[in-house]
Amino acid sequence: MEKGLKEKLLESGREEEESVGKKIWSESKKLWIVAGPAIFTRFSTFGVTVISQAFIGHIGATELAAFALVQTVLLRFANGILLGMASALETLCGQAFGAKQYHMLGIYLQRSWLVLLTCALLLVPVFVFTAPILRLLGQDSHIAATAGTFSLWFIPVIFSFIFSFTLQMFLQAQSKNNVIAYFAAASLSLHTFLSWFMSMKLKWGVAGVMCSTILAYWIPVFGQMGYVLSGRCSDTWKGFSVMAFKDLCPVFKLSLASGAMLCLELWYNTVLVLLTGHMKDAEVAIDALSICLTINGWEMMISVGFLGAASVRIANELGRGSAKGAKFSIMVVAATSLSIGFVLFIAFLFFRGVVSYVFTDSFAVSRAVAHLSPLLALSILLNSVQPVLSGVAVGAGWQSVVAYVNLTCYYAIGIPIGAVLGYIFGFQVMGVWIGMLLGTAAQTVVLLYITWRTDWDKQVEIARLRINKWFVPESESGDRSPST
């Protein structure tokens, strides 16, 4: 009898292990369905800018400096605001999809278009008056004038962000983002050919590269819009609706919180580069830090993919009413991202003396990058956890909380410590980087604590209240036509 009991216990243990294994495998498949295409899309979109910059660099040094100035400051500024505001859609669409209120995704998408269109219109004057603004800030007159010309070319790009970001999040919430990756790859390939053809063969110069750039940003929009309107999302897109104009204030508030959350992160690195510009051997310091931030930025494409996957999975599970499922999703995505981050951490420690030569031939810059590589490796390791936690926050709708956390950790801890270590204690660029790491580490610890202490049953209830509050019966969702 005792032997039979032991056999039953062992069999039960094996079944439980198999059950856990199946759950992890199932969750991992759901995770990679979102994360894989999201990572590829981020790399492709980043590649559009890199290709544009490469062709502009062959036209002239002034043009390259002006393009880099507009792209790294103005376009990143607009991108951060609009992408951040669009991420409110990840919360709303993800939770509605989990709750099987499929038709609400289309209404949320249209509401987000209205919010982002308003924001984009407010950004236009900055791009129109770029040249005088740069002159006022002390920039070289010739570079400022050329930058002013580039900024006008980028206005259509800003408006592409409205539809690109929101359609991506609309499709991502339904795990239909393979189509996003396909159009991103097609756009990148076409952009490479058109930039060469129009700038080199047709001799259109800057106009050729910028025409190709605008097309590269709008082609995925037309493709994704065509996919949605063609009936491929028949459950979630029921046509244009007058209900899109209802309940815009709560969407606007959530969008503002999302925008603040992301912008505070994006501007953090910009402030650090500005701090470095006032140090001894500023050129070497800026070059070294820029190389490290570029490497960090490429790695962040992976992390942002996991951020999107985490937000979708958490929102879906909360909308479905499963607190247990949400917690399990967090564990799987965090473990997966951390594993990849650890491999990259080891790789950058091992190749610390080689990686910089991909970007520079300068021995001084290479030595500075090698000196910073351990900090870069630590940053990559932290970046494998921090975006996942931000994704959890987006999925649960905590954007305003994370915005305050970012403001405190980055701007009250990271930047002041970086300035003190860099200037007062003489650690130079390494001191600035340590400050950045400490700010990111503080943010990670706070978000870990918030996630750990969260009552997920209560979050399910909050999600249910939000879904019910903004629910519109399908019969009242406005005029529809078969074509849409």
Most confident of 152-156, 299-303, 408-412: 152-156
For residue 408, pLDDT over 60 is answered with yes
User: Whose CA is closest to 209, among 161, 159, 154, 158?
Assistant: 154
Give the model's confidence band at 211: pLDDT under 50 very low, under 70 low, under 90 confident, else very high.
very high
Alpha-carbon distance of 296 to 192, in angstroms, equals 24
203 exposed, middle or buried (CB, 10 Å; 0-12, 13-18, 19+)? exposed
pLDDT of residue 239: 83
Average pLDDT, the chain: 79
Kindly state the average pLDDT of the residues 82-109. Answer: 84
What is residue 23's predicted lDDT score, i.e. its pLDDT? Answer: 82
Q: What is the pLDDT of residues 290-320, one digit of tens each?
A: 667 667 767 777 877 888 888 888 888 888 8
The full length of the chain comes to 484
pLDDT band at 271 (very low <50, low <70, confident <90, very high): low
Q: Between 451 and 275, whose confidence is greater?
A: 451
At residue 355, the pLDDT reads: 65
pLDDT at 484 over 50: no
- The whole-number average pLDDT for the span 167-196 is 88
Tens digit of each residue's pLDDT (9 = 90 or more) over 332-355: 888 888 888 888 888 877 776 666
Between these two residues, 293 and 391, which has the higher pLDDT value? 391
Residue 218 predicted with pLDDT over 90: yes
pLDDT at 63: 79
Mean pLDDT of 451-471: 82
- Summarize the confidence of residues 31-53 as an average pLDDT: 81
DSSP state of 438: H
CA–CA dist 49, 68 (Å, integer): 10
Best CA proximity match to 67, nearest among 152, 194, 132, 187: 152
Handedness of CA 105, 448, 33, 308 (dihedral sign): positive
Do 147 and 131 form a contact (C-beta atoms < 8 A)?
yes
Tell me, what's the pLDDT at 480?
Answer: 46
Q: What is the pLDDT of residue 359?
A: 56
Residue 227 has pLDDT above 90, yes or no: yes
pLDDT at residue number 117: 92
pLDDT of residue 482: 36
3-state secondary structure of 276: helix
pLDDT at 66 over 90: no
In this predicted structure, the answer to whether residue 277 has a pLDDT above a threshold of 70 is no
pLDDT level of residue 284 (50, 70, 90 thresholds)? low
**Backbone φ, ψ for residue 173 (5° rounding):** -60, -25
CA atoms within 13 A on the CB side of 192: 10
Q: What is the pLDDT of residue 190?
A: 92
- Say yes or no to pLDDT of 31 above 60: yes
Contact (CB, 8 A) for 165 and 42: no
Mean pLDDT of 273-288: 57
d(CA 254, CA 88): 6
User: Average pLDDT of 255-284?
Assistant: 64
This prediction has a pTM of: 0.78
In sequence order, which residues have a C-beta less than 8 Å from that of residue 265 and are 6 or more positions away?
A: 390, 406, 410
Residue 9: is its pLDDT beyond 60? no
Q: How many CA atoms lie within 13 A of 436 on its CB side?
A: 31
For the segment 137-160, the average pLDDT, to the nearest whole number, is 86
Share of the chain above pLDDT 70, in %: 83
Lowest mean per-residue pLDDT among 190-194, 202-206, 263-267, 399-403: 263-267
For the chain, give the percent of residues with pLDDT over 90: 13
Can you tell me the distance from the alpha carbon of 326 to that of 311, in angstroms, rounded to the nearest whole number? 10
CA distances in angstroms from 318 to 100, 174, 255, 308, listed in the order given: 12, 14, 19, 15
- Report residue 356's pLDDT band, with 50, 70 and 90 as the boundaries: low
| Residue range 32-47: mean pLDDT, rounded | 81
Residue with the larger pLDDT of the pair 56 and 279: 56
